[in-house]
Amino acid sequence: MPEFTMYQVDAFTSALFRGNPAAVLVLDDWLPEAIMQNIAAENNLAETAFVRPNGRGWDLRWFTPVHEAPFCGHATLATSHVLAHELGIDGQLVFETQVGTLRVDRSNDGYQLDFPSFPPEILTEIPAPLRAISGTGEVKAFRNFENMFVELADEQAVLDFVPDLPAILKLDPLSLVITAKGDMHDFVSRYFAPLAGIPEDPVTGSIHATLVPYWAQKLGKPNLSAFQRSSRGGHLLCELKGDRVLISGSAVTFMKAQIYLP
């Protein structure tokens, strides 16, 4: 019976039971996709990351409980933490992924993630499901390749938002991000991805590849403090640098376990 080591890491936090948990398996080579999907479903976390060496760096894939994801930030941070902190790998980590090359460096406070920027596509015609979800007459909305984004009036509106998950499912194949200017941070957000088996994601690095260029333009500055206002919460220090988005955050290991596969 094959045996593998799996780590569970809380990402975008320096304290356990905060931030966003992700599972990480470091492999010699990919397992069959059905097995990787079953492991992710068994974990029932927002993401399970699988990483293997490729001779130049690492290949990285992410799976939600229901499908493979094209892009995930918090599980990239979790994977970097496992490689650097648990396995003692020094220097910059370079990952090849579906969205291109991602680079991660150790920093004094944790890790800095170097992601591609996905600038917002402003919506002039608002889809009816999105208008119904927002519950407001005038909707400020934009999108990228995997999500719809709605700007709400203020941080309290983000906190008070009650997601209508069946309505969000009608955005298929996209998920929903809500955001607003923050009180103590430059902006806040929440993320709902029921199509991916994630009613609400605690902290989502990938959405900031679009939120950062949006708020950088709106606020007129490249360096931004962001907070995801889920029940677990997570702080992200962000910078728009040309066509890249830099995101800094911490991570902490919760669990190391042996798993057994058929």
Helix (H, G, I), strand (E, B) or coil at 224: strand
Catalytic residue check, 155: no
Report domain extents, the chain. Answer: 3-116+248-260, 121-240
Give residue 39's Cα distance to chain centre: 19
Neighbour tally for 117: CB within 10 Å: 19
The answer to whether the CB of 194 falls within 8 A of the CB of 168 is yes
- Kindly state the helix (H) or strand (E) to which residue 257 belongs, with its residue range: strand 251-260
Name the fold adopted by 3-116+248-260.
Diaminopimelate Epimerase; Chain A, domain 1 (3.10.310)
Domains 3-116+248-260 and 121-240 share a fold: yes
Neighbour tally for 133: CB within 10 Å: 23
For residue 209, what pLDDT is reported? 98
Which residue of the set 47, 146, 155, 200 is catalytic? 47
CATH number of 121-240: 3.10.310.10
* Sequence-ordered list of residues with C-beta below 8 angstroms from that of 91, at least 6 positions apart, any chain: none
- Give the angle 147-151-152 at the CA atoms, nearest 5°: 130
SS3 annotation, 15-57: CCCCCEEEEEEECCCCCCHHHHHHHHHHHCCCEEEEEEECCCC
Tens digits of pLDDT across the chain (262 residues): 799 999 999 999 999 999 999 999 999 999 999 999 999 999 999 999 999 999 999 999 999 999 999 999 999 999 999 999 999 999 999 999 999 999 999 987 799 999 999 999 999 888 888 888 776 667 899 999 999 999 999 999 999 999 999 999 999 999 999 999 999 999 999 999 999 999 999 999 999 999 999 999 999 999 999 999 999 999 999 999 999 999 999 999 999 999 999 8
* Sequence-ordered list of residues with C-beta below 8 angstroms from that of 100, at least 6 positions apart, any chain: 116
For residue 132, what pLDDT is reported? 80
Give residue 203's Cα distance to chain centre: 6
The residue among 178, 211, 171 whose CA lies nearest residue 194 is 171
- Give the angle 254-259-262 at the CA atoms, nearest 5°: 160
Predicted TM-score (pTM) of this structure = 0.95
SS3 annotation, 144-188: CCCEEEEECCCHHHHHHCCCCHHHHHCCCCCEEEEEEECCCCCEE
* Sequence-ordered list of residues with C-beta below 8 angstroms from that of 76, at least 6 positions apart, any chain: 49, 60, 62, 95, 97, 102, 104, 113, 205
DSSP 2: -
For residue 136, what pLDDT is reported? 62
Q: What's the token pair of residue 218?
A: 């709106």
Q: What's the token pair of residue 237?
A: 């220090």
Q: Which residues pair with 226 in a beta bridge?
A: 187, 236
